[in-house]
Structures are given as structure tokens and as C-alpha cells.
Amino acid sequence: MKKTNTRECMTNLQSELTANELTLLKEKILESDHKGRILEIGTAAGGTFVEMFNTLKESQPEIAPNKFVVIDTFEYFTDHLGIWKSNLEKNSINPDEIDIRKGDSYKIFKQTQNEKSDYSFILVDASHLLKNMIRDIRWLERLKVGGIAAFHDYSTNFPGVQIAVNVLLKNNSNYKKVNLVESLLVIEKTAETTSREISCCQIFLYTVLSKLLDLKRSAKKRLKKIGL
Ligand SMILES: C[S@@+](CC[C@H](N)C(=O)[O-])C[C@H]1O[C@@H](n2cnc3c(N)ncnc32)[C@H](O)[C@@H]1O
């Protein structure tokens, strides 16, 4: 039977970022190069998307809605895409003008190999599992020089997010940390990447590590259940 998830944002339609994280996100989106496209990977009910869209629209009324790209499986909760679209409509945004990509973020990445690398802002907030996070890092290949990437849930509560972003930063000196507010980390791409942000070998290695982390997590749960 298919698992149905519940999330507060499903009913309140709000952003899952805290007020301080949202302030940083908006500040950075306003500072970014408005000629590029804006991407959100993992949008839930669209609360953060609405905030990003309206912030840019206020300062750049002429900005085209199709500059905004959203990726999500839209299978997290019942009528996920319907809820997302109605949230946009409620906020006077026409969802049909947005570039919506439904599916797994890495599959979409591979299916769109020929698209332009013209993103000026990428918010990564989809699956927090290491095996998926390490793959989502590949989207940064499409970030322009001077572009900003933001990662939500960069905290010890989500080792998958922390490890993947730390690997990126350690191996690519052309990315620098800009700000960390609560669990929102903002980084900037300062120069072109010479090879690739994350190699195939690293993807393989961190997929194995992800499985080990899963085993550790479920062993911990079982031990707790039996009082050990
Ligand atoms: C943490 S929520 C996003 C919260 C949203 N950014 C906000 O601030 O309101 C994660 C979202 O990522 C989506 N997701 C999870 N795994 C995914 C994957 N592999 N590819 C695309 N989307 C995924 C889920 O459907 C869910 O909507």
C-alpha cells in the first residue's frame, strides 16, 4: 500500500523555513543576478516558492514567471501538485506560467543534460538522504559564476545534507560559504568548475555510505525499542 505523508505545510501552506532563514533567503535572492533563472528543488506545498517569487516580483515587476523552475516528485502527500498549484493561485501567481518539473530530481537532471547553465539561484531542499543529496549537488553544474545556492536543513539533524555539502565545499575551492542562519546555508560559485562538482566515484562512494547510515539509524531504533 502506498504510504501517505502528512506535513504541517500541507494545511497551513506556509514555508518550512523559519522567519530568520526566510529573511536570509529573500536578502540573497534580491542580491542575485536577476538575468538568471531561479530553481527550487523540493517545494512541498510551495510556501517558500511563493515567498521567493513575490520578493523578486516586487523588486523586478517585469521578471518573467517562466524564469522560475520547480522540481518535485509531487508525490509526498495526497493531491500534492493540486495543493501546490492552489497555494500559488491563492497568492495571485499563475502556476501554469511556472516551469514545473514533476519527478525525481536526479532523473530530471539527467534528462535535461542539454539545458543552459543559466541559474543564478538554486534552493536545494528535497530528499535529505545522503544518496539523494549527493546527486542533487550535480545541479550546481548549472549555476552561473556569481550564482547563489542555498541548502536547507544543513544541520547535525540531517547528516545527509551536511556531508554532501561539505564534500562539495572541500573539493571545489570555487565555492565559498556566504552565510549560515539556523539551518540555512548560503554559498556562492566564484569561478567556473574545471571538471565536475561531484564525480561518479564520489556518487558511488557516498551512496554506499548512505546505506551504512540507514543501517546505523535502524539499528539504533531497534535497540531503543527493546530498551538498550
Ligand atoms: C523538505 S520538503 C520541501 C520544503 C519546501 N522547500 C519549503 O521550504 O516549504 C521536501 C520536498 O522534496 C520532495 N522530494 C523528496 N525527494 C525528492 C526527489 N528525489 N526528487 C524531487 N523531489 C523530492 C518532496 O516531495 C517534498 O515536497
Ligand 1 close to Cβ of residue 129 (< 6 A): no
Domain count for the chain, please give it: 1
Residue 39's pLDDT is: 98
* Residue 144 belongs to a domain: yes
HEC string of the chain? CCCCCCCHHHHHCCCCCCHHHHHHHHHHHHHCCCCCEEEEECCCCCHHHHHHHHHHHHHCCCCCHHHEEEEECCCCCCCHHHHHHHHHHHCCCCHHHCEEEECCHHHHHHHCCCCCCCEEEEEECCCCCHHHHHHHHHHHHHEEEEEEEEECCCCCCCHHHHHHHHHHHHHCCCEEEEEEECCEEEEEECCCCCCCCCCHHHHHHHHHHHHHHHHHHHHHHHHHHCCC
Percent pLDDT > 90 in the chain is 86
Distance 182 CA to ligand 1 centre (A): 19
Residue 102 lies in a domain: yes
pLDDT higher than 90, residue 126: yes
In a domain, 3, yes or no: no
Structural domain includes residue 2: no
| Residue among 22, 43, 157 to mutate when testing ligand 1 (max atoms within 8 A of CB) | 43
Which among 5, 18, 73 is the best mutation to test ligand 1's pocket, defined by most ligand atoms within 8 Å of the CB? 73
Residue 115: inside a domain: yes
Q: Domain span at residue 69?
A: 8-225
Distance of alpha carbon 25 from alpha carbon 176, whole angstroms: 16
Q: What is the average per-residue pLDDT within 137-154?
A: 98
Q: How confident is the model at residue 130 (pLDDT cuts 50, 70, 90)?
A: very high
The answer as to whether 15 is a domain residue is yes
- Residue 6 pLDDT level (bands cut at 50, 70, 90): confident
72 located within any domain: yes
| Model pLDDT for residues 175-197, shown as the tens digit of each residue | 999 999 999 999 999 999 998 99
Of ligand 1's listed atoms, the one at least distance from the Cα of 74 is: 25
pLDDT attached to residue 110:
97
CATH number of the domain enclosing 30: 3.40.50.150
**Is position 203 within any domain?**
yes
Q: In the structure, what pLDDT confidence band is assigned to residue 161 with cuts at 50, 70 and 90?
A: very high
| Average pLDDT for 165-169 | 98
